[in-house]
Amino acid sequence: MLEIEHLEVRYGSELAVTDLSLTVGDGELVTLVGPTGCGKTTTLQAVAGLTRPTQGAIRIGGRTVSGERFVPPERRQTGLVFQSFALFPHLTVAENVGFRLSSGESVDPWLAWLGVAEQRDAYPEALSGGQKQRVALARALAHRPKLILLDEPLSNLDASLKDSLRWEIRNVLKEAGIPAIWVTHDQAEALSIGDRLGVMRHGALEQIAEPDVCFHEPVSRSVAEFLGEVSFLPAWPQDGHLETPLGRARSRQQPGDGEVLVRPDDLGLADEGPANGTVAWARFEGGTRLLGVGLDCGATVQLRTNHTRRHLPGERVRVTVDPGHALSLFPGASEAA
């Protein structure tokens, strides 16, 4: 288990992380996302012992490693997997994984587990990016760490490899039962593989919750916007319900004046009834199309249709709201509005 309490890290006068508290349970995988410069890497480095916090305490497996005392990185029993593969170029795969392992301990089970047994005697330069990250993870796991920290481990890989490798790595971490923090820029990655997702902003953890809670019940507009395409619809209370220009909606909060968050999959197009908007743009995505529609009320929304429906800019359409769940209401109007 990892426990971070009121972590603060300053670089000179710059506050990189502020009052961050987070517990990662045994076997839990927490993904951390946020805009560039929000403090994700600094948080990992503080946990790894590569950066000295200015305030707060960190405990790994119940042992204080930062706070009342400072334990150096090599004595924290923490495995690190970073974006730059960081393998020793002059050592083979087996030697990389076995580096500083107690003598006599075989690396072969780790190589087999990560699917790089055939590359055992190869040097890193002969490996693909995906193989390098498998070796890096095998090396981290071989030291039987109490915690694994992954900083953008897939960002140097191409899209199709990323998709499969993220699941492989997740499965290995889950099987090993080791708690992990995985920093990523990729919202889809963070939403899909994390048991919980933390969204950082300006050095602070703005929200930490199960991914679908962060997605459907974001605590702020910035969390909502960071986790995918969003539109905001004007909303107001009427007869105890919440009304929008697209009709009545259910909201998580008491009906009031403000805007409801709608994502493309909360909206649809009706074949019947009067038009209430004009298609502004259409983007083909493969199996789906994303449309931007300027509603007659002045708001612009994005919605997704099946690729078989083709709508051209300028076309009049009828947008409906049918999320199948209560919507999040934010008081006041957005800055954009």
Ligand X SMILES: Nc1ncnc2c1ncn2[C@@H]1O[C@H](COP(=O)(O)OP(=O)(O)OP(=O)(O)O)[C@@H](O)[C@H]1O
169-188 residues in contact with ligand X (CB under 6 A) are 185
List 120's β-bridge partners, or say none: none
Using CB under 6 A, which of the segments 36-44, 61-69, 140-148, 216-224 binds ligand X?
36-44
Q: Is 42 in the site for ligand X (CB under 6 A)?
A: yes
Q: Is 83 in the site for ligand X (CB under 6 A)?
A: no
Answer for the pair 218, 224: CB distance below 8 angstroms, yes or no: yes
Here the tokens at position 62 are: 């119940």
Q: Contact letters (x/-) for ligand X, 126-165, by CB under 6 A? A: ----------------------------------------
Residue 81 CA to residue 10 CA, distance in Å, equals 24
Q: Is 98 in the site for ligand X (CB under 6 A)?
A: no
Q: Is 332 in the site for ligand X (CB under 6 A)?
A: no
Q: Is 14 in the site for ligand X (CB under 6 A)?
A: yes
Which residue bears the tokens 């095998």? 138
Figure out which of the listed residues 37, 247, 313, 331 binds ligand X, where binding follows CB under 6 A: 37
> Considering CB under 6 A, how many residues would be counted as binding ligand X?
12
Q: Is 4 in the site for ligand X (CB under 6 A)?
A: no
Nearest to 307 by CA among 320, 295, 324, 291: 291
The stretches of the chain forming alpha helices (DSSP H) are 40-48, 93-98, 108-113, 129-142, 159-176, 187-193, 211-216, 221-226
Q: Which is nearer to ligand X, 9 or 260 (CB)?
A: 9
Q: Is 84 in the site for ligand X (CB under 6 A)?
A: no
Answer for the pair 46, 59: CB distance below 8 angstroms, yes or no: no
Q: Which is nearer to ligand X, 52 or 325 (CB)?
A: 52
Figure out which of the listed residues 2, 7, 31, 34 binds ligand X, where binding follows CB under 6 A: 34
**Closest distance between ligand X and the C-beta of residue 128, in Å?**
24
Q: Is 292 in the site for ligand X (CB under 6 A)?
A: no
Answer for the pair 267, 303: CB distance below 8 angstroms, yes or no: yes
Angle CA(224)–CA(157)–CA(90) in degrees, nearest 5? 135
Residue 33 CA to residue 215 CA, distance in Å, equals 13
Which residue bears the tokens 């603060």? 8
**Closest distance between ligand X and the C-beta of residue 157, in Å?**
17
Q: Applying CB under 6 A, which residues contact ligand X? A: 11, 14, 16, 34, 36-42, 185
